[in-house]
Structure 1
Amino acid sequence: MSAAVISHLGSRSRTLLPGLSVSAMVAAAATFLSEHYGAPVMLFALLLGMALNFLGSDSVCKAGIEFTAREVLRLGVALLGIRITFGQIAELGWQPVAIVVVLVSVTIVVSIVAARVMGFSSLFGLLTGGATAICGASAALALAAALPAHSQKEKATLFTVLGVSALSTLAMILYPMVVRWLGLPPLQAGIFLGGTIHDVAQVVGAGYSLSREVGDSATVVKLMRVAMLLPVILCAAMITRAQGVQPGDKRPPLLPWFAVGFVLLAAINSTGVLPQMLQQAGGKLSQWCLVIAIAALGMKTQLRALVTVGIKPILLMVGETLFLALLVLGMLRLAD
């Protein structure tokens, strides 16, 4: 390695390290609070980051915060693939797979239509619908990374993360009561919880609060929804390419590198060659990257920008969540 390259890497590291370090510290604080108070770690990271938003415009930290919000986020999305194996999906049979494909597709399409009716862009509908239908805050961050840049993108992303985190926590509390009230058998209970609750952690909490059987099936169904992230990212990348590029810019790839990494890790994990310890480490690293990235996004955002969103985006996300729950229940009744 030449002296010039080493010098460049050293200079680049010094530029990025302050912002990356402060993002990691916010993520560590958010993790501590989440473990002690039981609220979603993404929500804590976002709120703590927003409390330190003055660092996003600081000349020392700005470059590192920008890098973290962009590249560390993409690394975290790629590492999500290590949670999935194709065998897990095959074990449930064709009905849950069909249910997941339909509910994700229909929810996103309905969200886009609803967003347009309410005066929002189709991209906002895709962002909120994808977050609701797939895996909450992780999906919101992944889609934001693939969608074309625009002036309201970060504001829309942070609002979506905030909304799905709050709604996921509420669903974790209420949906087990719904399962008991409807008298759903264990497999159907698992499909309902795994098919409706936004974030993986809340699905695990709700499922195992009922029984181990419900928790196991809910977790696998939820991971199937996570697997749907790939085709949705592909659609988002196609939209970005269709938007065109500014003169002198490179055209974005049809499949972003983090989506390719997601698929490769899922394929490798499906072979069974990865030891369980490595799978767990990869899953934790993915979670850490996403938490650090959302902390950085929070530091780039002014709180007053989110306060001005109004009631309509909130109604949109609540409506998407209720629609998803009713859709899954309807599909379970038809499958009987």
Structure 2
Amino acid sequence: MLRMTDKLRAIGPGLLMAGLVAMAAQFLSDHYGAPAMLMAILLGIPFQFLSTEPRTSAGIQFASRMVLRIGVALLGVRVSIDLFANIGPAFAAVIAVSVVATIFAGIFSASVFGRDRAFGFLAGGAVAICGASAALAIAAFLPKHDKSETDLTFVVVTVTVASTIAMILYPILATAMGMDVNQAGIFLGGTIHDVAQVVGAGFSMSDETGDVATLVKLFRVTMLAPVVFIGALFFRSSAQHGVRPPLLPGFVLGFFALVLLNSLHDIPPIVGDGLGQISRACLLTAVAAVGMKTSVQELRKVGGTSVAMIGALTVFLAALVAAGIFLFSA
């Protein structure tokens, strides 16, 4: 009990600060429509000095790692095996292939943009799956170096901005391409990075499009766990020295367990909704903590080529999904 009390005292101040930043970000999102994830990381950056302050550093570190893992694990309450049947095998295959192809495109194009494959995996996974949430989960097992936090912050900011732009432009693009409500929902859900922006774009067109888009987006979220597992396996086997990442991270096991329970309809709706809200709060707190660990000077050094890389991956994903929609709708 004494050790637990000491632990809470050590992490409490920093965790509280990260939580306050997350609450401010959510306030801005609720009242002004700003993307909550983007606001959390931008509001956190000015407090970077707290990550080196002895009284708050442990709590900020805890928020950026343990709270993150809890948030990712709890994403499982939003997913069930029923999603596969509801989307249909053909379009489910289109989304799955597009996600995998985008991740590989990130890995193998990284050298073209002057980055290593770990950054390519991080950027490709964030674009392909679910934006900031995927970036946080993937970063948890990537090899650590002195610019790890800066790279993560850069990807979260850039992908969130790209997702916001897509939320505005993609409904216009879907209409211009002559997509019906179902096709538009598949396109929006299969291409926009963050869940909130998918919902915004889909329901801006119609309720039916919004429902389909949300469903497809959640299907992409189901791919987070296997991608993290395979990525952890690859980086574990390729590690030359130091501590290897676990073969199956605990938060991935938690994600799968909740998906199974949800698929068996063993989670009451009120409990599922509550856990979903806790998941979002955890992820928002983790993003705020990542921002609080990021130096603006280091962020500036990432370079415009990395922006171009994420932009190229975003266009690549959109082109693949659109091509698949028209191929299987013919």
TM-score, normalised with respect to structure 2: 0.97
Is the 2:91–2:325 Cα contact (8 Å) retained in structure 1?
Answer: no
Deviation by residue 1:171-202 (Cα, 9 ceiling, x = unmatched): 00111111111120111111100000000011
**Residue range with higher mean Cα deviation, 30-39 or 134-143:** 30-39
How many residues in Structure 1 have an aligned counterpart in Structure 2?
329
Aligned match for 2:94, one of 96, 99, 104: 99
Q: Does 1:44 align with 2:39?
A: yes
Over 2 Å off, 4+ runs: 243-247
The amino acid across from 2:263 in the alignment is S
Aligned match for 2:250, one of 245, 248, 257: 257
Deviation by residue 1:292-325 (Cα, 9 ceiling, x = unmatched): 0111111111111111211100100111111111
**Residue range with higher mean Cα deviation, 311-320 or 83-92:** 83-92
Give the corresponding residue for 1:266.
Answer: 259
5+ residue gaps, structure 2: none
3-state SS of paired residue (2:175): helix
Is the 1:39–1:169 Cα contact (8 Å) retained in structure 2?
Answer: no
The amino acid across from 1:331 in the alignment is G
Is the 1:108–1:133 Cα contact (8 Å) retained in structure 2?
Answer: yes
Distance 1:30 1:14 in 2: 25
Give the corresponding residue for 2:318.
Answer: 325
Matches within 5 A, 1:217-256: 217-244=212-239, 246=241, 249=243, 251-256=244-249
Instruction: Provide closer, same or farther for how the CA distance between residues 245 and 288 of structure 1 changes in structure 2, counting only shifts above 3 A.
Output: farther
Is the 1:77–1:290 Cα contact (8 Å) retained in structure 2?
Answer: yes
Matches within 5 A, 1:70-81: 70-81=65-76
Give the corresponding residue for 1:278.
Answer: 271
Aligned match for 2:27, one of 29, 32, 44: 32
Is the 1:164–1:198 Cα contact (8 Å) retained in structure 2?
Answer: yes
Distance 2:12 2:282 in 1: 15
5+ residue gaps, structure 1: 1-5
Q: CA deviation at 1:246?
A: 4.8
Is the 1:115–1:125 Cα contact (8 Å) retained in structure 2?
Answer: yes
Q: Does 1:302 align with 2:259?
A: no
Matches within 5 A, 1:12-161: 12-161=7-156
Matches within 5 A, 1:192-231: 192-231=187-226
Deviation by residue 1:8-28 (Cα, 9 ceiling, x = unmatched): 111111111011111111111
The amino acid across from 2:103 in the alignment is I
Is the 1:96–1:221 Cα contact (8 Å) retained in structure 2?
Answer: no
Identity of aligned residues (%): 47
Distance 1:124 1:309 in 2: 11
The amino acid across from 1:108 in the alignment is I
Is the 1:81–1:266 Cα contact (8 Å) retained in structure 2?
Answer: yes
Q: Does 1:314 align with 2:321?
A: no
Distance 1:163 1:299 in 2: 17
Q: CA deviation at 1:273?
A: 2.1
Matches within 5 A, 1:176-187: 176-187=171-182
Give the corresponding residue for 1:3.
Answer: none
3-state SS of paired residue (1:81): helix
The amino acid across from 1:175 in the alignment is Y
Is the 1:73–1:142 Cα contact (8 Å) retained in structure 2?
Answer: yes
Q: CA deviation at 1:89?
A: 2.1
Q: Does 1:9 align with 2:4?
A: yes
Q: Does 1:175 align with 2:170?
A: yes
Distance 2:245 2:126 in 1: 22
Q: CA deviation at 1:240?
A: 2.8
Instruction: Provide closer, same or farther for how the CA distance between residues 22 and 144 of structure 1 changes in structure 2, counting only shifts above 3 A.
Output: same
3-state SS of paired residue (1:134): helix
Distance 1:307 1:136 in 2: 21
Is the 1:73–1:290 Cα contact (8 Å) retained in structure 2?
Answer: yes
3-state SS of paired residue (2:55): coil
TM-score, normalised with respect to structure 1: 0.95
Distance 2:259 2:56 in 1: 34
